[in-house]
Structure 1
Amino acid sequence: MTVQTERPPSGPADVRKADDGGPGRPTPRAASRAGALAPYLLLLPACAATVLLLGWPLLKDVLLSFQNLNMAQLIQHVTEWNGVDNYREVLTGEDFWRVTLRSILFTAANVVLIMVLGTLVGLLLARLGKRMRFTLLLGLVLAWAMPVVAATTVYQWLFAQRFGVVNWVLDKLGWHSMADYSWTSSQMSTFFVVTLLIVWMSIPFVAINLYAATTTIPNELYEAAALDGAGGWRSFTTVTLPFLRPFLYATTFLEIIWVFKAFVQVFTFNGGGPDRLTEILPVYAYVEGVGNQHYGMGAAIAVLTILILLGLTAYYLRIVLKQENEEEAGL
């Protein structure tokens, strides 16, 4: 009586059969290919939504910037291409460069105030007890969550000329000349209120971010610094600041973008007045495009605004990367 034993694979065909894993099962090569494509498939909906919601309007804006589109062409459904005439008119005019400089200075002043005050509030949150921290966090979240138009309306009421709370308080404190002061009558006073509004709405984001970053710092580092005789300032510069630096870089980058395109606060508060002296680039593009019905001109200003913002952010990122490389080389 003979006993049959299972014959081991003896050739390439037998090896392939053994590796196939049976009918209906994916081969290892197909499984690895599917695993490599999985991240791209997961990103596909987000990329499609980005292209649809951002890419297509941006393309339409670029095409519109090369057209002479006013109300007459819009009613007649006529497409009149004029090449780079819109860009030439904008770049050769003094208004665009004046508004650009104003926008950069406005952004710089706001971002500096936001980062300094937001960092201080974030460090304060790390020092407070649980109840006080919860109360302050609740106030910050409420200020952060308030709609921009609603917050601007509140500030219009606070700084109203006749019935504003600020003028009433200043009058009671002895500044009787401020009892009927118009905060929208001059460029500086309007910018002061708008800056106060933007800083007030932006501090919560910076403070909460920085507070979250402080929770990642090990307490052992502070104990070691205290044993070395480090005081409060030295502990901050040698322990806290190195951990917070990446968060500060990222938050500053976001604040530059958000403040530079702060259209709602400026336009809603006073429409870019008085005499268009508080217009920043987004407001300038809207007034020229929609207000004056020069839609091609407004589109050209919008495209130039995007390019300027990209240039500012690229310059900032270059400085950040350079500092990081110097720190790594120093280590």
Structure 2
Amino acid sequence: MTVQTERPPSGPTEILKGAGSEPADPGRKPRRAGSLTPYLLLLPPVAAVLVFLGWPLVKNVLISFQNLNMRQLIQHLTEWNGTDNYGDVLSSEEFWNVTGRSIAFTAANVVLIMVIGTLVGLLLVRLGKRMRVVLMIGLVLAWAMPVVAATTVYQWLFAQRFGVVNWVLDALGFHSMADYNWTGSQLSTFFVIMVLIVWQSIPFVALNLYAASTTIPKELYEAAALDGAGAWKSFTQVTLPFLKPFLFATTFLEIIWVFKAFVQVYAINAGGPDRLTEILPVYAYIEGMGNQHFGMGSAISVLTILILLLLTAYYLRIVLKQEEDER
């Protein structure tokens, strides 16, 4: 007589249950179903970056080691010349003049942008709701205007014969400015470009700092007021410490944005007069596309990227050192 101690599974459901109830191998880690999901979601943007940014960058580096002009392009020739392009660029006095001009141009713009943008951001905190909304709408509209459209507007504003700026100055009594050519000298051309870039950049800084200011607890200001702190002391002891991380991050982004401001400089006067307002991106374009020295232009653009990386690395080093000193 046979005694059955366990009833065999009678259907597929019970078979699956029985299979799932088997003890797992202690040496085998369980695999999570969603462990690959983050990587799959990151795959499309990473692929897009590699295709649209990575490959052009690699191609640009390869061209910088070639002697490439219209003859090579028409005949489909590849003439490698090693580091001759880099040697010619680095030994050129014009390149170093443009580099120094680009650094000074970037520094002046970033200082103005951060100072005025911070003041506007603090003003947003103090304004009433209606005025704050009006000012924020104006900032967003200025920020959202396309660069080429904004540059065209400024060309009209500072036009020599029919510009609004010259008309206003003449009406105010500065009659010598009635027919002033704003793009006729280096300083006046840079003035117009800087006004344009600062105007375009202030909204980003102001809105960022306003958003950061809303996270500061009001109790800290009340405690500072009880201690007898005035407006300036409250700013330096309460507001500024909270805004420092946002100021550092925003300054970092503005350095990158201003340093590569090609459209504004080229559209205003194409680096003129006499190529005295060229910065590195414009210099690379004119040497590469304008003079058809494509290898030389690629070498200048690669050096521009390296200089920008060195500037940002130096800035980040200063920021990290300040944070360590505060700790």
TM category, shorter? over 0.9
Aligned to 1:29: 30
Aligned to 1:234: 233
List runs of 5+ in structure 1 lacking aligned partners.
Answer: 7-13, 21-26
Q: Which 4+ stretches in 1 moved above 4 angstroms?
A: 2-6, 14-17
Cα deviations by residue, 1:212-264 (Å, 9 ceiling, x for unpaired): 00010111111111111111111111111111000000000000000000000
Cα deviations by residue, 1:77-126 (Å, 9 ceiling, x for unpaired): 11111100100000001010000000000000000000000000000000
User: How much is the aligned-residue C-alpha RMSD, in angstroms?
Assistant: 1.9
Q: Report deviation, 1:42.
A: 2.2
User: 1:230 aligns to what SS in structure 2?
Assistant: coil
1:197, 1:103 → 2: CA distance? 16
Which amino acid letter does the alignment assign opposite residue 202 of structure 2? I
Number of aligned residue pairs: 313
- The percent of aligned pairs where both chains have the same amino acid is 76
Aligned to 2:79: 80
Question: Are 1:18 and 2:22 counterparts?
Answer: yes
Cα deviations by residue, 1:273-317 (Å, 9 ceiling, x for unpaired): 000000000000000000000000000000000000000000000
Which amino acid letter does the alignment assign opposite residue 51 of structure 1? L
Aligned to 1:157: 156
Q: Report deviation, 1:36.
A: 4.0
Q: Report deviation, 1:5.
A: 8.1
List runs of 5+ in structure 2 lacking aligned partners.
Answer: 8-17
2:224, 2:42 → 1: CA distance? 45
1:108, 1:36 → 2: CA distance? 46
For normalisation by structure 1, the TM-score amounts to 0.91
2:201, 2:307 → 1: CA distance? 22
Q: 1:305 to 1:165 in 2, by over 3 A?
A: same
For normalisation by structure 2, the TM-score amounts to 0.92
Q: Report deviation, 1:40.
A: 2.5
Q: Report deviation, 1:71.
A: 0.6
1:76, 1:226 → 2: CA distance? 76
Aligned to 1:51: 50
Aligned to 2:196: 197
The equivalences for 1:81-160 within 5 A come to: 81-160=80-159
Question: Are 1:219 and 2:218 counterparts?
Answer: yes
Q: 1:15 to 1:147 in 2, by over 3 A?
A: closer
Aligned to 2:167: 168
